[in-house]
Amino acid sequence: MNAALGRDRSLPTREGLKRAFLDHLLYTQNKSLAIASRNDLYQALAHTIRDCMLRTWFDTASSYKAKHSRMVAYLSAEFLMGPYLGNNVLNLGLMDEVKAAIAELGLDFDDLANQEEEPGLGNGGLGRLAACFIDSLASLEIPAIGYGIRYEYGIFYQTIIDGWQVENTDKWLRYGNPWEIQHAEWSVEIKLGGRTETYTDDAGKFRVRWVPEKTVAGVPFDSPILGYRVNTANTLRLWRAEATEAFDFPTFNRGDYLGAVSKKVTSENLTKVLYPNDESDQGKELRLEQQYFFVSCSLQDMLRIQINRGQPVTEFHLAFAIQLNDTHPAIGVAELMRLLVDEHQIVWEQAWDVTRQTFAYTNHTLLPEALERWPLKLFERVLPRHLEIIYEINARFLNEVRIRFLGDESRLSRLSLIDESGERYVRMAHLACVGSSAINGVAELHSELLKRDVLADFYAMWPEKFTNVTNGVTPRRWIALSNPRQTSLVSRAIGNDWIKDFSRIKELEPFADDAGFAADWQAIKRDNKIELAGQLLQRTGIRVDPDSMFDVQVKRIHEYKRQHLAVLHIVALYHRLKSDPNLDVVPRTFIFGGKAAPGYHRAKLIIKLITSVGDVVNNDPAVRDRLKVVFLPNFSVTRGQRIYPAADLSEQISLAGKEASGTGNMKFAMNGALTIGTMDGANVEIREEVGADQFFLFGLTAEEVYALRARGYSPSDYYRNNAELHAVLDLIRSGFFSRGDANLFAPLIDELMHTDPYMLLVDYQSYVDCQGEVDRTYRDTQDWTRRSILNAARSGKFSSDRSIRDYAERVWKVGPAPVSS
Ligand code: HBZ
């Protein structure tokens, strides 16, 4: 430990923390308290906290090395970590001491923590799941490493101008990142493009060599991932692309120094920016290069570790269990084969055994348009050797299929790794399935639908590979850190073991009937709402009433998630109030947040619809503050930490069969919000756990959706037969919310009336009726509070610790390896 913090590994004292902080202010930032900027103070504090973790981090790596521990390698193109400072202080168990030390210096901890630029290296649920999982892996003391990409620009910063989303670059590294350590000594070289050639090796064996068009260097940046109050700190290793020394010899040798340097810039573009698309693919060459880049860096890194430990590469699968977070890293299957066969001269059959036993694949989507496939031509241009390897894998695989299903030609074309129905594509999900020993969905319903639908042919081949692991979220960040008031109330009631063992949150159940506890619970919710109201006012200028019901939908904006269904409900309420100004409604504040993919025009129009309806409703004296609609810009991990604790009602209203799991639904539930939702994704399991009284259910089931689609669905019937729905759609269509511009929302409304692919009109009445039920329940404050407590008390299943235990037992076959202190 840093000398100022004390010489042993026991936790630092308050005096030690202050000393170390002032040292860093001087020796790292070269400032005094008198002249330091907020950022200087944040940097000094971040370095102080980092110092408290380094010994544990170092000991963890040494212990894994000494014990040859089997490691989980979690490969993910996205890690949506959120700010580190608060989480690290929490996991160290130092929150009170650090706050006090900072206060004694005349400063405010929260104020400094707010200075941190969050690393937004992900789009949404998938990237945030990876972040929750590495917190749980460390907290459960499971040897693990997270591998990903160090994007220079993370997910764009969203502003709202005239009601429209505007994207701004996210310069999160502007002031440096105190949480990372660069390890140039472990850099690796990555090949791209070019061609392959055959040769005969010294032993007379026929071999293939990849002659690339260019190479780039991959440089690892490591951050410690400290478990909650344990002596384990795992590593998040993110790769940055840099020019290799020999970045462009021909140009350099021609004496074109500046030309050569400009090519250097090109190679560094590789990790410049995160693609901002969720649930759809652009098929861009740079994206494939990013995927291959981080996967090859990571596999080379693991092979280096294996060889360093003196272990044979043929035992790679005993040392590493690699989890593919969706298909973004699925090229790893072909890359490990290339490394083993071409570079380590392992025979194909043995290499294939090792590969299959190494990988496992998690699918995160049922949307057909989200299944990744790469045009064959593009793939061949970037990864010529991998295409050959994929052909070989495919040939052997299809022979396996032929033996099992003789004469079934259509099955062969359905299963093939190459889609040959039109322009030819490489199907990444197929590569992942063939190259993995386990395949899982992220909620029970999703895993069932995968087996029945998207991956049915693979299920017929290998039913034993399929399993479900329901998602979870970390109670450290999502309760202990974001909702300190609820945390101390709960800990006063049942002790604080629930933070480590979240199944114990069920001990809270009896307190649902304790009047004193319930009053405290309710007061805390109100305080959290007051705080959020302050943020809303500051960021949007809209004043909301903390005593109104906070009805919240925060997630990526997508038609299948149906934010516009919530808007139809708002317009219906508004229409009712205009028709009967004395109508007795429960005052509500509708809060929306989320980003739309920059090229997804329909999603951007949904944002414009929300803000436009908000403009009219919020400024109409006739509704007398009974309805408010707020779109909070730039929803992020940081914003989420303020929002979930302040919600009364959680909107989880996707069309059944579309949302793989959802994880926001879990964060809301833990923080005491009741859910209104469909039987989709993990909603099904949430309802099962918390009980039907705590879950306002509406809408078709996935089965009913299939049946209706098969029968043929005509949205116009619903429009014609439902007077209120008719009026709502007409009102939006008329230009009432768009200053008379009847064209603005026409594309949205016309689609609903003619095709309505996400069946809003079918579920509309059921949704509105269900919202009526929500109102009736909310009027009885005591009853609502009781349900809110029960709901949180029964959310124990949705800790990511439980998800990780499931993976560890069923998929990875690893256990904890505590680091002795
Ligand atoms: O993964 C989400 C699912 O939609 C959600 O239901 C689930 O809970 C969550 C975790 O399992 N999927 C995503 O977030 N997907 C992406 O962000 C994405 C990013 C890049 C892509 C495709 C999808 O190319």
Per-residue confidence at 366, pLDDT binned at 50, 70, 90? very high
As a whole number of angstroms, the distance between CA 623 and CA 578 comes to 7
From the number of C-beta atoms within 10 Å of its C-beta (0-12, 13-18, 19+), residue 402 rates as middle
pLDDT for 247 beyond 70: no
Span from the CA of 365 to the centroid of ligand 1 (angstroms): 7
Give the model's pLDDT for residue 9. 61
DSSP string, 7-38: SSSSPPPHHHHHHHHHHHHHHTS---TTT--H
What atom in ligand 1 is closest to the CA of residue 663?
A: 8
pLDDT digits (tens, 9 = 90+) for 574-628: 999 999 999 999 999 999 999 999 999 999 999 999 999 999 999 999 998 899 9
As a whole number of angstroms, the distance between CA 21 and CA 31 comes to 11
Per-residue confidence at 284, pLDDT binned at 50, 70, 90? very high
Ligand 1 proximity of 278 Cβ (cutoff 6 Å):
yes
Give the model's pLDDT for residue 251. 73
Which residue puts its alpha carbon closest to atom 8 of ligand 1? 662
Specify the length of the chain in residues.
821
pLDDT for 7 beyond 90: no
Buried b (16+ CB within 10 A) or exposed e, 594-628: bbbbbebeebbbbbbbbbbbbbbbbeeeebeebbb
Ligand 1 proximity of 366 Cβ (cutoff 6 Å):
no
Ligand 1 proximity of 638 Cβ (cutoff 6 Å):
no
pLDDT for 635 beyond 80: yes
In the numeric block, which tokens belong to residue 605?
């129009």
Q: What's the average model confidence in pLDDT over 151-173?
A: 98
Span from the CA of 266 to the centroid of ligand 1 (angstroms): 29
Ligand 1 proximity of 728 Cβ (cutoff 6 Å):
no
Ligand 1 proximity of 680 Cβ (cutoff 6 Å):
no
Which residue puts its alpha carbon closest to atom 13 of ligand 1? 126
Give the model's pLDDT for residue 564. 98
Give the model's pLDDT for residue 484. 98
Give the model's pLDDT for residue 4. 73
ipTM score for this prediction? 0.99
Give the model's pLDDT for residue 262. 79
Which residue puts its alpha carbon closest to atom 21 of ligand 1? 278
pLDDT for 1 beyond 60: no
Pocket test for ligand 1, best of 80, 155, 278 (most atoms within 8 A of CB): 278
Span from the CA of 33 to the centroid of ligand 1 (angstroms): 44
Which residue puts its alpha carbon closest to atom 19 of ligand 1? 278
Ligand 1 proximity of 471 Cβ (cutoff 6 Å):
yes
Query: 10 Å Cβ neighbour count for 314?
Result: 16
Give the model's pLDDT for residue 6. 65
As a whole number of angstroms, the distance between CA 483 and CA 788 comes to 15
- Judged by average pLDDT, the poorest of 259-268, 306-315, 373-382, 443-452 is 259-268
Pocket test for ligand 1, best of 128, 363, 365 (most atoms within 8 A of CB): 365
pLDDT digits (tens, 9 = 90+) for 407-431: 999 999 999 999 999 999 999 999 9
Per-residue confidence at 254, pLDDT binned at 50, 70, 90? confident
Structural domain spans, the chain: 1-67+83-117, 70-82+118-395+432-466, 475-797
In the numeric block, which tokens belong to residue 483?
């909702």
Q: What's the average model confidence in pLDDT over 257-283?
A: 85
What's the CATH number of domain 70-82+118-395+432-466, 3.40.50.2000, 3.40.50.720, 3.40.50.620, 3.10.580.10?
3.40.50.2000
Per-residue confidence at 22, pLDDT binned at 50, 70, 90? very high
pLDDT digits (tens, 9 = 90+) for 186-221: 999 999 999 999 999 999 999 999 999 999 999 999
Q: What's the average model confidence in pLDDT over 525-550?
A: 98
Residue pair 156/169 in contact by the 8 Å Cβ criterion? yes
Catalytic residues: 364, 555-556, 561, 663, 667
| % residues pLDDT > 90 (the chain) | 94
Residue pair 589/626 in contact by the 8 Å Cβ criterion? no
Ligand 1 proximity of 281 Cβ (cutoff 6 Å):
yes
pLDDT for 751 beyond 70: yes
Pocket test for ligand 1, best of 75, 279, 560 (most atoms within 8 A of CB): 279
Span from the CA of 782 to the centroid of ligand 1 (angstroms): 37
From the number of C-beta atoms within 10 Å of its C-beta (0-12, 13-18, 19+), residue 315 rates as exposed
Mean pLDDT of the chain, nearest integer: 96
Ligand 1 proximity of 559 Cβ (cutoff 6 Å):
no
Ligand 1 proximity of 659 Cβ (cutoff 6 Å):
yes
Give the model's pLDDT for residue 142. 98
As a whole number of angstroms, the distance between CA 68 and CA 71 comes to 9
pLDDT for 517 beyond 60: yes
What is the edge-to-edge ordering of all strands in the sheet holding 627-631?
627-631, 588-593, 549-554, 649-652, 674-677, 695-697
Ligand 1 proximity of 129 Cβ (cutoff 6 Å):
yes
| % residues pLDDT > 70 (the chain) | 99
Residue pair 667/486 in contact by the 8 Å Cβ criterion? no
Span from the CA of 364 to the centroid of ligand 1 (angstroms): 6
CA atoms within 13 A on the CB side of 761: 28
What atom in ligand 1 is closest to the CA of residue 281?
A: 24
Span from the CA of 139 to the centroid of ligand 1 (angstroms): 24
As a whole number of angstroms, the distance between CA 650 and CA 146 comes to 31
Ligand 1 proximity of 341 Cβ (cutoff 6 Å):
no
Span from the CA of 660 to the centroid of ligand 1 (angstroms): 8
Span from the CA of 126 to the centroid of ligand 1 (angstroms): 4
Q: What's at 182, amino acid-wise?
A: Q
Task: Report which of 157, 790, 131 is spatially closest to residue 477, judged by C-alpha positions.
Answer: 131
What atom in ligand 1 is closest to the CA of residue 370?
A: 22
Span from the CA of 121 to the centroid of ligand 1 (angstroms): 13
Span from the CA of 441 to the centroid of ligand 1 (angstroms): 12
pLDDT for 796 beyond 60: yes
The dihedral formed by the CA atoms of 479, 482, 484 and 485, expressed in degrees to the nearest 10:
-90
What's the CATH number of domain 475-797, 3.20.20.100, 3.40.50.2000, 3.30.930.10, 3.30.70.141?
3.40.50.2000
Ligand 1 proximity of 796 Cβ (cutoff 6 Å):
no
Ligand 1 proximity of 468 Cβ (cutoff 6 Å):
no
Ligand 1 proximity of 20 Cβ (cutoff 6 Å):
no
Per-residue confidence at 249, pLDDT binned at 50, 70, 90? low
Identical fold at 70-82+118-395+432-466 and 475-797? yes
As a whole number of angstroms, the distance between CA 702 and CA 684 comes to 11
CA distances from 69 to 134, 141, 218 (A): 17, 11, 25
Which residue puts its alpha carbon closest to atom 1 of ligand 1? 126
pLDDT for 456 beyond 90: yes
Ligand 1 proximity of 279 Cβ (cutoff 6 Å):
yes
pLDDT for 237 beyond 90: yes
pLDDT for 176 beyond 60: yes
Give the model's pLDDT for residue 369. 84
Give the model's pLDDT for residue 257. 82
Task: Report which of 160, 170, 169 is spatially closest to residue 540, judged by C-alpha positions.
Answer: 160
pLDDT digits (tens, 9 = 90+) for 54-93: 999 999 999 999 999 899 999 999 999 999 999 999 999 9
pLDDT for 8 beyond 70: no
